Structure 1
Amino acid sequence: MKTLKNSLLLFILMLCSVGVAQIKIISFENVNVVPMNIDTIIPNQRVIIANGKISKIEPATKSTTNHIDVTINATGKYLIPGLVETHYHLQNNIENEFKLLIANGITSARNMAEYDGQDQIKIRELARSNSILSSHYYTTGPYLKRNDFKHIDSVDVIVQYHKKRGYDYLKIADNLPKNIYLALLEKAQNESIEIVGHAQRELPLDYSLRIKSIAHMEEFMNIFSKEERNSIDCMQKAAKEIKTSGIYVSPTLGIFEMIIRYADKEKSAKLNADKNIRYLPKQYSDYWKSDKINYRKNSWFTDKESLARLEKELEWQKKITLLLHKQGVPLMAGSDTYGLFLPGFSLHHELELIRDSGLSNYETLKTATVVPARYLNTISLSGTVSEGKLADLVLLDKNPLENISNTRTISGVMIKGQWIDREKLDNLLLEVENSNK
């Protein structure tokens, strides 16, 4: 009996020692911190991570009293908050797409549709339980269009379904009859369900501003007439109304630009040769590289006049992006991942387009850090590099406040307190590539 008790005690001590060994204290040494609460760089800092959180930020010259298990030499590098993809669509294997997101520094993602055959609640549970390597995950319910609301009673059925399933948001993606739309707003409000998605292009602007967030700057292009779009006074008045409503807006400029890249033969050839396509399943990428897709076979997109129109429309969307920003409308980076606009990589291009609209590098970076953290109600634990916040961080080789494209220069990612260096990130990408062969 004594031998058995001793064995049990030894086993318990072994388990405890294993648990202690797993909790490692990590220090980024001599790193340039991009805190994001203000437009600045705090040079040569020590950032200590313990229990999955930022426990201390101090000058690297200061002698530390903390026990450090892992030291990361970050001299000359820049530490930013983890990036947020606010308009993600699962198209293929979720484990592979999570790897693409994380390899690109995306530590949180908002999925914007549950398509047939998907179980987004199960995916969210997997992400939250850390059963698979994953970003923090939020999701809407089914991609709802006009045909899903066949009569007024269907509104309550749909709202109750969302409540029972526990989706984070209800997504609408079409113009609804006025009575249906108003009933949906009321019933969703009563059940504390937030509505997101597309605008109501057949109704005055005010109706579209009654939801939590609008995806696509293109939606505003479709609400207004050509004369209104070309009127500075009209657009400034609209910008003030949008600001007053408190709504969040995702420009999603990149996915609109993709139409031009598909439709223009020269740009299409370059797009099809993009080396990152190797991270997509071959059957999927072959279809999107082919002439079967609508953007490559429909003259509404491919004609010379059509291409010129699309370019002008993209420029208009950039102008309105800047106008809304100047008015104080909260903008969130989201790339609407489908087709050849790959998860992860697409967000960096979206940031470049937002920057090209006229925002500063700092204000652009806020659209993928501070602003979505406030939107997701996680600002107390994410969005900035600050003591007490979760250790969701990206280490960059170059300064993103000098050039927003430097968000691509990823040296490593810390996700949920786990450090993944460049070599491991490359291995994740290789795993995705090999699984698609």
Structure 2
Amino acid sequence: MNTLLRSGWRSAAIAAVLAIAGACASPPRAAEGRELVAITNVTVIDVVAGVGHPGMTVVADHARILSVEAGGPAPYGARRIDGAGRFLIPGLWDMHVHHQGTGAESLPIYLANGVVGTRDMGSDADFILPLRDQLARGEVLGPRIVAAGPMLDRAPEGWPWRISVSTATEGTAAVAALADRGVDFIKVHDHTPREAYFAIAAEARRQGLPFAGHVPGRVTIAEAAEAGQASIEHLANNRVFTHCGDDCAAAYAQLATRGVWQTPTIAFFQRLPDLLSGQAPPDADYASPALLRLLEENARAANLSPEVQTLLQAQSRQALVAMAEMRNAGIGFLAGCDALTPGFCLHEELEWMTRTGMTPAEALRTATLNPALFLGRQDREGAIAVGRRPDMVMLDADPLEDIRNTRRIAAVITDGRVWDREALDRMLGDARARFTSEDQ
């Protein structure tokens, strides 16, 4: 997060919010058995065109979608799923998570909410990289992960998931070391020194790695765009709209031209005053004990005054207006949650997207097509089409009529496995029982 307030509260509160400490239990093991699947008579949601195609048959194996045809037959031996009256969307992505904070034991909750992929924006390399690889091999039940590993900056002592860099030389060395570890991208943050920032950008480019995160205090928006920063996080608290001054239109145009995406984490900032005032997050029954304890500690550390609460709420409202202006300028958006209850929060984020003026189709793209475009995977993911990954979510109601219908999940299909509503409820029930037991 970037500057919320120009006061001493900022460092303590932001450090507390980001100090989502350590994963606990081992992740659940993946289910065995993949099969050929045929979903018949379903309405396929075309996220590119923003329309639904009724009466379709979609056939997929564990690796890819094999056919999408109007009234097509189900192949012999395929598991046939009746999609009559239902709607099929691509699997969802949460593009701002911290898995080390929510814990490996939370991974099935993502899947139970239709989230098949995540972008981890900061975790220790020894935690996140083995977990990413286990998920990729199908050894663990949960979403696929794109991971940065630790953030590169010079934050105050005690801030988690970081490699401290003070100079250009240290920035270059840190990127090279993370590249050797096999990270997918590089993350910068508020306290990344100016000299280190540009060295990080240059070395990331040399290593063929994207870099993303916050715009540090001593780097301008224009410089970040020119340096090639791929995305900027946390709209209500980032310098794109809080520091563009009287010429925000020019800043927005430059970001659009350079293809710099925004991950606004709207729901998180809308909830932040309540969270830092001691209220439990939504869907708290599915929040890990570690996350709940962290939020309680954050609330005690923040000790928000009414004035600070009012300011946070005002910034969140202003960010919604700024989002509409950015969208009109052609800036792309990615759906992401940060430190809220995994899986559930993404549906809330999509609802907030529509409150900025997006259509339900546009909001749905922020968690499907847009992540695929951002990651350079648009030929493999992000839509229901022949040759794409078999990541699909079947809904009981049309998300193009009301984005809240993404919550009405009938089944999740990925990698040749089908989790129907009964199986998804079991996942959620197991998590709730485990978290309740661990919290006692």
Tell me, yes or no, whether TM beats 0.5: yes
Spell out the pairing of 1:126-275 with structure 2 (5 A cutoff): 126-147=134-155, 148-209=164-225, 210=227, 211-221=229-239, 224-225=242-243, 229=245, 231=246, 234-263=247-276, 268=279, 271=280, 274=282
183 and 95 in structure 1: CA distance in 2 versus 1, 3 angstrom threshold: closer
Q: What aligned pairs does 1:94-113 form with structure 2 within 5 A after superposition?
A: 94-113=103-122
Partner of 2:99, secondary structure, is: coil
Does 1:122 find its partner at 2:130? yes
What is the rounded CA distance, in whole Å, between the counterparts of 1:262 and 1:427 in structure 2?
A: 28
**Residue aligning to 2:93:** 84
Alignment of 1:323 onto 2:322 = no
Partner of 1:383: 382
TM-aligned CA deviation for residue 278 of structure 1 = 2.1
CA distance 1:114–1:382, shift in 2 (3 Å):
same
Q: Residue 112 of structure 1: CA displacement?
A: 0.8
- 1:65 & 1:139 partners in 2: Cα distance? 37
Whether 1:67 and 2:76 are equivalent positions in the alignment is yes
Q: Structure 1, residues 371-390: CA drift from partner, whole Å, max 9, x if none?
A: 10011121111111112211
Decide whether the 8 Å contact of 1:335 with 1:350 is kept in 2: yes
What's the secondary structure of 1:144's corresponding residue?
A: strand
| Aligned residue runs from structure 1 range 336-351, under 5 A | 336=338, 338=339, 341-351=340-350
- Identity level (%): 24
CA distance in 2 between counterparts of 1:149 and 1:55 reads: 48
One-letter amino acid matched to 2:111: I
Which AA in structure 2 matches 1:255? Answer: F
Tell me if the contact between 2:62 and 2:416 (Cα under 8 Å) persists in the aligned partners.
Answer: yes
Is the contact made by 1:198 and 1:219 (CA closer than 8 Å) also made in structure 2?
Answer: no
CA-atom RMSD in angstroms: 2.3
Query: CA contact under 8 A between 2:233 and 2:262: conserved in structure 1?
Result: yes
Distance in 2 (alpha carbons) for counterparts of 1:27 and 1:110: 29
CA shift, 1:65, in A, is: 7.0
Bigger Rg, structure 1 or 2: 1
Q: 1:178 to 1:23 in 2, by over 3 A?
A: closer
CA shift at 1:161, angstroms?
Answer: 0.8
CA distance in 1, matches of 2:241, 2:326: 15
Q: Give the gaps of 5 or more residues in structure 1.
A: 1-20
User: Is the Cα contact below 8 Å between 2:165 and 2:196 reproduced in 1?
Assistant: yes
For residues 355-394 of structure 1, what are the structure 2 equivalents within 5 Å? 355-394=354-393
Cα distance in structure 2, aligned partners of 1:320 and 1:359: 13
Tell me what 1:12 maps to. none
Q: Which residue of 2 aligns with 1:421?
A: 420
| TM-score in terms of structure 1 length | 0.84
User: Which residue is 1:4 aligned to?
Assistant: none
Structure number having the greater helix percentage = 1
Q: Deviation at 1:293? A: 2.1
Q: Check if 1:42 corresponds to 2:53.
A: yes
**SS of aligned partner of 1:293:** helix
Partner of 1:430: 429
- Which digits, 9 at most, give the CA deviation of each residue in 1:180-220, with x for residues without a partner? 22222222222222211111233322122221211111354
The answer to whether the Cα contact below 8 Å between 2:101 and 2:290 also exists between their aligned partners in 1 is: no
- Mapping of 1:20-35 within 5 angstroms? 24-35=35-46
Structure-2 residue corresponding to 1:293: 298
Alpha-carbon distance in 2 for matches of 1:35, 1:368:
14
- Shift, 1:260, TM fit: 1.9
**Mean alpha-carbon deviation: is it higher for 316-325 or for 216-225?**
216-225
4+ residue runs over 4 A deviation: 92-95, 221-225
CA distance in 1, matches of 2:102, 2:298: 22
Alpha-carbon separation, structure 1, partners of 2:313 and 2:237 = 16
State the distance in 2 between where 1:222 and 1:80 align.
Answer: 32
Shift in Å at residue 31 of structure 1?
0.7
CA pair 143-87 structure 1, distance change in 2 beyond 3 A: same
SS in 2 for 1:335: coil
Within 2, Cα distance between the matches of 1:123 and 1:298? Answer: 32
- Which letter maps to 2:124? Y
Alignment TM-score, normalising by the size of structure 2: 0.84
Question: Using a 3 Å threshold, how does the CA distance of structure 1 residues 71 and 428 change in structure 2: closer, same or farther?
Answer: same
3-state SS of the aligned residue for 2:152? coil
Amino acid at match of 2:131: I
Paired residue secondary structure (1:259)? helix
Describe the SS at the equivalent of 1:130.
coil
Q: Which amino acid aligns with 1:362?
A: A
Residues 203/22 of structure 1: CA separation in 2 closer, same or farther (3 Å cut): closer
Deviation at 1:221, TM superposition (A): 4.3
Alignment partner, residue 9 of structure 1: none
Q: Distance in 1 between matches of 2:343 and 2:392?
A: 15
Change (3 A) 1:91 1:279: farther
Which deviations, in whole Å up to 9, do the C-alpha atoms of 1:266-308 show, x marking residues without a partner?
xx3xx46x4x3222333542452x4x424x5645x331x3332
Aligned counterpart, 2:288? 281
Post-superposition shift, 1:119?
2.1
> Residues of 2 paired with 1:22 and 1:131: CA distance?
12
Q: SS of the residue aligned with 2:46?
A: coil
Amino acid at match of 1:67: Y
Number of equivalences: 395
Q: Decide whether the 8 Å contact of 1:82 with 1:383 is kept in 2.
A: yes
